[in-house]
Chain A
Amino acid sequence: MSTWEGAWNDPGPPDHSPREIITALHLTRVYRHPRAITAVNDVTFSIFEGEIFGLLGPNGAGKTTLFRMLTTLLRPSAGGAFIDGHSITEEPDIIRSIIGVCSQNTTLDPDLTAWENLDFYGELLNLDPEVRDARIRDLLKVSGLSDRGGLPIRTFSRGMMRRLEIVRAFIHNPRILFLDEPTMGLDPASRQAIWGQIRKLNGHGVTVVLTTHYMDEAARLCHRVAFMDTGEIVAIGAPQSLVDQIFSGEIIEVPLPPASERLCGEVLGIPGVISVHADGGLLQIVTRDPDQVLPELRRLIPFEGAGLIDPVARPPTLEDVFIRLTGEARKGRGRME
């Protein structure tokens, strides 16, 4: 499987220097138990200093394995990676001192208070007591938990725990922050709060690498994203440029009637239609000229008569890219006219 064409030429985030801070070279990881699975397969890519970089892909695509290799939690089976020039296999200790990691699962001690948790990590990371106290006060403020510092973590909501976990990863002022699904399972307000926190940190020059299943999150937050599927990076680039590359127009979605092979061909015949894609009972039509296509479509399919909602055109989103890229791979690369 090849990387999405042209994606490599992405210039990187416009407002930041293009210095590579993370470089993965042919990074591969094979799990042996219970059966051999190549979770990450020959992945080569770079992340630039100061950008927010998103790793996207379906469950089991290899995001977390790649994330864990980059954060020195797992060792590669082949290939390697460099974080700020340090090898993940040779110098994990140096890397661990310059990165902050927020794992998918909580690593906070539920029996300790928020303050004690931060203090514990601060001391593990060798921060002096005076520095630590000031830092903890700052971090609790950033996470909006100043009034809850003395409460045990077990009394916190998931959103509060997540916010604390992110600032915890940041206690030693790391240059790179790794966040594995930072907003998973959180309500919209908590997600907004975490995005604000990530942007604030990024504003101070911190490179952020995150994985997420929320495409709106990736589109809003990330300077660049990489799509992973079955252990490989299938596309990489700025969210909007990926959308533009894959969908060179607007999308019209039509419920797909049964036995519609003929219909697909007819729709494709409509002038102005760039591509037609049938998936999951839905016909996805890409066009640059919806005003021309829609009347023709209505003529072809009598929507009102069939009790269907009249179709409208909408701009494509990163979610469409996700479905198109990873769905295609799953079906063994399908129809892309």
Chain B
Amino acid sequence: MRSARAVFRRDFTKFVRSPLMITMIFIFPLIIMIIFGNTMGSTLTHLPVGLAQEDPSAARSTLYTRVLSAMQEKNLYSIIIYTNEKAAKAALADGRIYAAVIFQGSEKKDETVRLYLDTSQYAIPGVLESGIQGEIRGVDPQAAVFISRIYGNIKYFQFFGVAVIVLAIFMSTLLGGGTAIIHDRETGILEGYFVTPVKRSRIIMGLIASGTLKAFLSGCFILAMGVLLAGVVIRSLETLSSALLVILLISVGLTSFVVSFAIRFSNQTLYHSAISFFNLLLFLTSGALYPTEGMPWWLVWISWINPETYSLHALRCILLKGQGLGYVTFDLLVLSLLTLAAIAAGILAYPTDLEFTLEQ
């Protein structure tokens, strides 16, 4: 038994001496618990909904006025009034609102209301459909509601399948780009770089290029699987080329992110624990599983600086809504800026000699 005790003592002593390991074991799961609890299945509030009237010149109908005041009383909606139907539909297509409610605008019995729903989101269209129908029926049980799901019936598998493309890219950079850097350090190849006059920006560029290619291939594979298994529909060649371009950009972005992050890690175990934590954190706060609308402010804040949020939004617009690159310019811009910042951080963090090994 003494030998078992010796093995136990050796292992436990090493654990006690590694504050980072202790943090990972105790603090990370706690954070994950809090984040999971706050992202999944939280109550959705302040969903942007647009209201408009077919005939902009006519006075608002009684139904319109009463439905509006009923909706304003609830915090489920964040109401935006549009002066005409066209503006409301444009906002819906842009993703600024999740539903557009169009009233006929004439005082008559059995008024018909048209409800346009953005079905590219998970949970939101369902909540809005039943919610808005309830408000209308509450005012006029006889009113006819025509529901139009503008992107058809999107299944959760499709919604999630697109998110898995981002996950696949992250996973392959985690294993490809990041692990490669630490492997270089463990095998001494890093020291081999230092005795040559090669610039660290060149090393970073090389690592990111190779990591990106691996990530891109992995992303493309999951896209193909998404089409075959999850029912993701590619409507045109333009959609396909836009999707591939966005996947490439996401690959560069996430690889740069992971490479910069990995540089300062001295061993694989620690790196893998930390990066798995970040993988989960970024994935959950990106809206991959559940819309960010239900999250508390501090998680929403993380989602804003999370490159996966923009990656996912761009991919869903292209693949689920069939929109062109013009609709995701903002996402691509933010993603590019985050990528450049990550590359710069990576170059600055990359050591030029062995001094950094003494700091740890």
Whether A110 pairs with B187 at a CB distance below 8 angstroms is yes
A93–B353 alpha-carbon span in the complex (Å): 11
Contact in complex: A105, B191 (CB < 8 Å): yes
Given known A-B contacts A74-B354, A74-B355, A75-B353, A96 and B195 have beta carbons under 8 A apart: yes
| Assembled-state Cα–Cα distance A74/B354 (Å) | 6
Q: CB < 8 Å: which of B188, B196, B359 contacts A96? A: B196
Query: Count of chain A residues with Cβ under 8 Å from any Cβ of B?
Result: 28
Is A101's beta carbon under 8 Å from chain B? yes
Q: Which residues of A from 97 to 144 have beta carbons under 8 Å from B?
A: 97, 99-101, 103, 105-110, 121, 124-125
Whether A103 lies near B195 (C-beta < 8 A) is yes
Contacts of B189 in A (CB 8 A): 107-109
Which of A75, A93, A100, A107 contacts B191 (CB under 8 A)?
A: A107
Q: Is B358 an interface residue (CB 8 A)?
A: yes
CB of B156 closer than 8 Å to a CB of A = no
Give 1 or 0 for each of A68-105: 1 = CB within 8 Å of chain B CB. Answer: 10011111000000000000000011101101110101
Let me know if B187 and A106 touch, CB within 8 A.
yes
Provide the bound-state CA to CA distance between A93 and B194, in Å: 9
B residues in contact with A92, CB < 8 Å: 352-353
A73 touching B188, Cβ below 8 Å: no
The reply to whether A73 and B358 form a contact with Cβ atoms under 8 Å apart is no
> In whole angstroms, what is the CA distance A278 to B187 when docked?
44
B contact residues around A214 at 8 Å (CB): none
A56 to B219, CA, bound (A): 55
Say if the beta carbon of A8 comes within 8 Å of chain B. no
| Residues of chain B within 8 A of A299, CB atoms compared | none
Q: Is there an interface contact between B192 and A107, defined as CB atoms closer than 8 Å?
A: yes
Cross-chain contact of A33 among B195, B197, B354, B358 (Cβ < 8 A): B358
Contacts of A100 in B (CB 8 A): 195
* Max chain A C-beta neighbours (<10 A), residue from B189, B191, B196, B358: B196
Contacts of A96 on B, CB cut-off 8 Å?
194-197
- In the complex the two chains form, is A109's CB within 8 Å of B355's CB? no
Chain A positions within 8 Å of B, measured between CB atoms, are 31-33, 68, 71-75, 92-94, 96-97, 99-101, 103, 105-110, 121, 124-125, 169
Besides the known contacts A96-B197, A107-B195, 4 further A-B residue pairs in the complex with CB atoms under 8 A apart: A72-B353, A73-B191, A103-B195, A107-B192
Closest 5 CB pairs of A and B: A107-B192, A101-B195, A96-B197, A93-B197, A105-B188
Contacts from B to A (Cβ < 8 Å): 187-189, 191-198, 352-355, 358-359
